């Protein structure tokens, strides 16, 4: 019997795992809420496939060598991002890897556009006022989304859905991507350079991968090129944004708002209940207190639909690898 061990399983994912196992009685899937680390890698002894969602915890040689020594060479991810993986070591130890590049793009796109609309309408400020029983209107007057220019950076699966949602508000939408989508290009949505998008957009939403060339895409220089009082939404990858640069721009009034779902130092911070404990990250603590900043702990994807698709596709890929097949979601490196 084929055996899979899934690390970092949440309660919502366990529901999807159980449903998948019911359809595949010839496969044993065991789960743990522990993430895959050098310390937990020995738990994989006796299994054929390791299934993970790392949430910012790197997978390097110390972990991969242990898995290879156990005879494991199949690693399947329950998410799209691969920036936690050491590809040189994956090559060295002859791993087959898959991810889930097409799980419910609507989940993240909806979240991003909802947050952008909330920034334009100053909803966090209003929520705080109402909570304090301050029901006065002023000075919390907002901007209508249909009167704004929305810039979508990255037009893959998620970016394209974000465009549809923004257009549904009636906004003017412009887009930038190094690799243009022909259908969007035919509609004239693209600008030629990122600088053009920054100069024109009232709201900027990031949907590009966290590869080295995109590191700190939002930085002091790029912020200086933006319109005054622009807002930024990052539901992409944490390393796309220089957090200190954004804080400085919020302090100066250059930026009107910031929605942060992913954070450059989120590993070990997000998806942890810090209530009643010393909060370990002063920058995030500062951002949380700001009325023009919305922080969510990497939960843009967090819907039942997305959770089910991430689990199902990753387990399907592990089964395909085990049977000598190449799954659609294979990661090439």
CATH numbers and ranges of domains, the chain = 2-103+304-322 (3.40.50.720), 105-295 (3.40.50.720)
Residue 107 CA, chain-centre distance (Å), reads 10
pTM over 0.75: yes
Please confirm whether the linkage preceding 139 is cis (ω < 30° from 0). Answer: yes
Cβ atoms of 92 and 62 closer than 8 Å: no
pLDDT at residue 267, as a whole number: 86
- Report the alpha-carbon distance of residue 252 to residue 139 in Å, rounded: 19
- Tokens, residue 195: 């600088």
pLDDT at residue 165, as a whole number: 99
Of the candidates 13, 110, 264, 266, the residue annotated as catalytic is 266
Q: How many residues does the chain have?
A: 333
- Report the alpha-carbon distance of residue 298 to residue 309 in Å, rounded: 17
Of the candidates 111, 237, 264, 309, the residue annotated as catalytic is 237
- Report the alpha-carbon distance of residue 218 to residue 285 in Å, rounded: 20
pLDDT at residue 324, as a whole number: 97
- Report the alpha-carbon distance of residue 268 to residue 291 in Å, rounded: 25
Counting beta carbons within 10 angstroms of the beta carbon of residue 121, is it exposed (0 to 12), middle (13 to 18) or buried (19 or more)?
middle
pLDDT at residue 102, as a whole number: 84
Q: pLDDT of 108-164, one tens digit each? A: 999 999 999 999 999 999 999 999 999 999 999 999 999 999 999 999 999 999 999
For the sheet with 27-31, list strands across it: 27-31, 2-6, 49-52, 74-77, 96-98
Of the candidates 122, 298, 309, 312, the residue annotated as catalytic is 298
DSSP 3-state of 220: helix
Alpha-carbon Rg for the chain in angstroms: 21
pLDDT at residue 81, as a whole number: 83
pLDDT tens for the chain, residues 1 to 333? 999 999 999 999 999 999 999 999 999 999 999 999 999 999 999 999 999 998 778 999 999 999 999 999 999 999 988 888 999 999 999 999 999 988 889 999 999 999 999 999 999 999 999 999 999 999 999 999 999 999 999 999 999 999 999 999 999 999 999 999 999 999 999 999 999 999 999 999 999 999 899 999 999 999 999 999 999 999 999 999 999 999 999 999 999 999 999 999 998 899 999 999 999 999 999 999 999 999 999 999 999 999 999 999 999 999 999 999 999 899 998
Give the number of other Cβ atoms within 10 Å of residue 33's Cβ: 12
Q: Is 237 a catalytic residue?
A: yes
Q: Is 266 a catalytic residue?
A: yes
Geometric angle at alpha carbon 178, from 172 and 179, rounded to 5°? 95
pLDDT at residue 84, as a whole number: 85
Q: Which residues of 35-46 are buried (b: 16+ CB within 10 A; e: fewer)?
A: bbbeebbebbee
pLDDT at residue 56, as a whole number: 75
pLDDT at residue 80, as a whole number: 87
């Amino acid at each position: 019997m084929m055996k899979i061990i899934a690390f970092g399983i949440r309660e919502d994912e366990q529901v999807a795992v159980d449903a998948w196992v019911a359809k595949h009685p010839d496969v044993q899937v065991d789960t743990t809420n522990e993430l895959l680390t050098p310390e937990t890698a020995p738990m994989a002894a006796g299994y054929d496939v390791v299934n993970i969602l790392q949430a910012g915890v790197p997978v390097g040689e110390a972990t991969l060598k242990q898995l290879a020594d156990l005879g494991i060479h199949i690693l399947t991810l329950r998410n799209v991002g691969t920036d936690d993986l050491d590809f040189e070591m994956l090559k060295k130890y002859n791993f087959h890897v898959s991810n889930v590049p097409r799980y419910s793009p609507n989940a993240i796109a909806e979240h991003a556009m909802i947050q952008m609309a909330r920034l334009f309408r100053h909803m966090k400020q209003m929520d705080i006022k109402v909570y304090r029983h301050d029901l006065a209107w002023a000075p919390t007057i907002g901007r209508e989304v249909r009167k704004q220019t929305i810039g979508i950076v990255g037009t893959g699966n998620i970016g394209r859905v974000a465009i549809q949602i923004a257009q549904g508000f009636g906004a003017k939408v412009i887009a930038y991507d190094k690799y243009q989508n022909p259908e969007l290009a035919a509609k004239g949505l693209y600008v030629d350079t990122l600088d053009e998008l920054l100069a024109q957009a009232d709201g900027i939403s990031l949907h590009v991968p966290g590869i080295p060339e995109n590191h700190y895409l939002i930085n002091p220089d790029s912020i200086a090129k933006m319109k005054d009082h622009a807002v930024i939404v990052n539901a992409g990858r944490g390393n796309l944004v220089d957090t200190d640069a954004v804080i400085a721009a919020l302090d100066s009034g250059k930026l009107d708002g910031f929605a942060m779902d992913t954070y450059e130092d989120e590993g070990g911070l997000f998806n942890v209940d810090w209530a009643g404990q010393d909060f370990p990250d002063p920058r995030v603590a500062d951002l949380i207190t700001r009325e023009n900043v919305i922080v969510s702990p990497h939960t843009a994807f967090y819907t039942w639909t997305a959770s089910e698709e991430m689990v199902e596709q990753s387990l399907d890929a592990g089964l395909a690898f085990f049977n000598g097949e190449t799954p659609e979601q294979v990661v090439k490196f």
